[in-house]
Amino acid sequence: MIQVFFEIALIIGIATLVGLIMQKLKQPLLIGYIVTGIIVSALNILSNISTIELFSKIGIALLLFVVGLHLNPKIIKEVGKVSLITGLGQVIFTSVIGFLVSILLGFSTVISIYIAIALTFSSTIIIMKLLSDRGDTNRLYGKISIGFLIVQDILAVLILMVVSSIAGSQGTNITFEIIKTVLIGILLVVIFFLIGLYVLPRFTKFLAKSQELLILFSISWALILSAVFHFFNFSIEVGAFLAGMTLSMSPYRHEISSRMRPIRDFFIVIFFILLGYQMNFSSVGLYIVPIILLSLFVLIGNPLIVIILMGKLGYSRRNGFLAGLTVAQISEFSLILVALGVTVGHVDTTILSLVTAVGLITMAGSSYMIIYADKIFPYISKYLKIFEKQGKKVDDASYNQDKPHDVIVFGYDRVGHDLLKHFKRNNINFLIVDYDPLTIQKLTRRRIPCIYGDVTNMELLDDLNLKETKMVISIISSYESNIMFINKIKEINKDLIIIVTSNNVENTFSLYKEGATHVIMPDLLGGEHISSMIEKHGFNKKKFLEEKFKHISSFENREDLHFEEV
């Protein structure tokens, strides 16, 4: 037992070091965990793999439990037509093409099915992290991407249910077993869904008086449902997912999710380390051509499918391209699916090694593609024009009288609201450019000059009449976006006053060096505002309360532009 403890401590230590390297390389930590497993295998550190396998199974169950927590059925209607069509369309086209490619590469029908399905799913963990890092979760393409990730996650769990239902079934019994177990599965889903809808919200409200009890119950609920589904010949992953989904209707789902995440992260690290440990490099060498071809299909083919589908639905090639990049890698679900296939005897470990290798390549490649998407797009934009519908685009809402503007503001947000009041009061011709279509729709209804777009769209900057503009203001805080913005503006009109936003001093100096006329620092302004209030009012609480009511009043004036996030 002590030896196992030291082995796990050593493995986690190696994972930390490799994770630091991955962070420097701007790569997902999942890749680092798989690389850790490869290192552990090469150094022959593990003496007993059974403990690691147990931790791995717990990690998968907790991962799906947390995914389920974020899939409240009430938000499915908010996903929208584009996410549903794009999500289903991409899965169908990718699986069909992937199956044909696998058959042509010489794989059997069963193996080709597993490979094809594995290629269809994109990594929720990686995409959500990258979208969050870029600050793009509220941009149109980000919302669409999150929407079809939800669609993919639901499909992935349904497929896991089917695979687990036919475990051990053979010959003529297979159809009967599938029908029987799927019907049992539907019955269990309905029962637990009703419990989640009518019982769990009240029960968790009672337990919420103690956070420890709430988390303890959540873990036990996940394990109980996993055990119930396993008893009826389903995988524990399906039970854990449903446990999360039933708790997603609880008002305390965010509290449960935030406290479960560290536990999940530890155990899921072990799962990916085990994947790397089990990689068979002799089979990787044997399948080098399929690995390269399948990786290229995922990196290029999957985004192309999304671009075509979104183009057919009337979206611009830019949003199609950005959303397409989010499907340019395979998912943790893909690895779980093939690992389950190994467990039930449908495929062998060499295929798991093949899919893991494709996962490493596509996760690494897509991460760089997403990070540098705004720099890549201008080079390939003209080639993507063939995928756009002619005429007005779905994402091209605007209220713009096509006249010169003294000031163009990129990003509405809080600062934009205050600027708008100043412009109106002083009769300044202005234009608002924002990447959130809902904001543009609401500004359009108020007949406020606005168009859909953002600072990283170089084509948009070319189309705007910047020769007669006196000032441009970027309220977007992304350093890389503002660098591109400044350089492009200087090319078009070097006499423009360029105001951009920064979150730290180091970036502020760099932006000034690049040519910014002035850099707004919200955090610094906030500190200056508090300091001036203390200097003005001292410790007079009555005066601070007066400031409070003024502040609340200013928010009420903006209420018509508020909306809920998807």
pLDDT the model gives residue 564: 37
Cβ contacts of 161 within 8 Å, gap of 6 or more: 182, 185, 234, 235, 238
Contact call for residues 13 and 39 (beta carbons, < 8 A): no
CB 478 within 8 A of CB 134: yes
For residue 559, pLDDT beyond 50: no
Quick one: average pLDDT of 135-159? 80
pLDDT of residue 563: 38
| Higher-scoring residue by pLDDT: 397, 22 | 22
Q: How far is 308 from 86, CA to CA, in rounded Å?
A: 9
Lowest mean pLDDT among 44-48, 307-311, 450-454, 527-531: 527-531
Q: What is the pLDDT of residues 434-449, one digit of tens each?
A: 877 777 777 888 888 8
User: Which of residues 396 and 66 earns the better pLDDT score?
Assistant: 66
Residue 321: band (very low, low, confident or very high) from pLDDT cuts 50, 70, 90: very high
How high is the pLDDT of residue 95? 93
Choice between 20 and 275, residue whose per-residue pLDDT is larger: 20
CB neighbours of residue 214 within 10 Å: 20
- Considering 124-128, 165-169, 331-335, the range whose residues carry the highest mean pLDDT is 331-335
Order across the sheet with 471-474: list the strands: 398-399, 450-452, 430-434, 407-410, 471-474, 497-501, 518-520
Mean of pLDDT values over 42-60: 82
**By mean pLDDT, which of 79-93, 97-111, 135-149, 237-251 is the weakest?**
135-149
User: Which pLDDT value is given to residue 557?
Assistant: 56
Query: According to the model, what pLDDT value does residue 178 have?
Result: 66
Regarding predicted confidence, which is higher, 526 or 115? 115
Average pLDDT over residues 108-133: 85
Q: Are 297 and 95 in contact (CB under 8 A)?
A: no
pLDDT (mean) for 231-246: 81
Residue with more model confidence, 558 or 398: 398
Structure tokens at 237: 């992953």
DSSP 433: E
Instruction: List the chain domain ranges.
Output: 2-387, 398-520
What integer is the mean pLDDT of 296-302? 94
471-474 and 407-410 beta bridge pairing: parallel
Q: What is the mean pLDDT of residues 4-31?
A: 86
Average pLDDT over residues 333-337: 85
At 117 the pLDDT is 93
Query: What local confidence, expressed as pLDDT, does residue 304 receive?
Result: 94
Q: Is the pLDDT of residue 562 over 50?
A: no
CB count, 10 Å around CB of 227?
11
More confident: 528 or 554: 528
Question: What token pair was written down for 382?
Answer: 């003209």
Alpha helix ranges (H) inside 493-521: 505-514
Of 452, 492, 446, 447, nearest to 472 by C-alpha is 492
Per the prediction, the chain carries an average pLDDT of: 82
Distance between CA atoms of 503 and 523, rounded to whole angstroms? 7
Mean pLDDT check: name the lowest of 199-208, 292-301, 402-411, 414-423: 414-423
Rounded Cα–Cα distance for residues 461 and 273 (Å): 46
Q: What is the pLDDT of residue 560?
A: 47
In this predicted structure, what is the pLDDT of residue 398? Answer: 63
What CATH number does domain 398-520 carry, 2.30.30.50, 2.40.160.60, 3.40.50.720, 3.60.20.30?
Answer: 3.40.50.720
Q: Give the residue from 190, 232, 239 showing the smallest Cα distance to 64.
A: 239
pLDDT at 491 over 50: yes
Reported as a pLDDT band with limits 50, 70 and 90, residue 94 is very high
The more confident residue out of 505 and 555 is 505
CATH class belonging to 2-387? mainly alpha
Most confident of 328-337, 396-405, 417-426, 455-464: 328-337
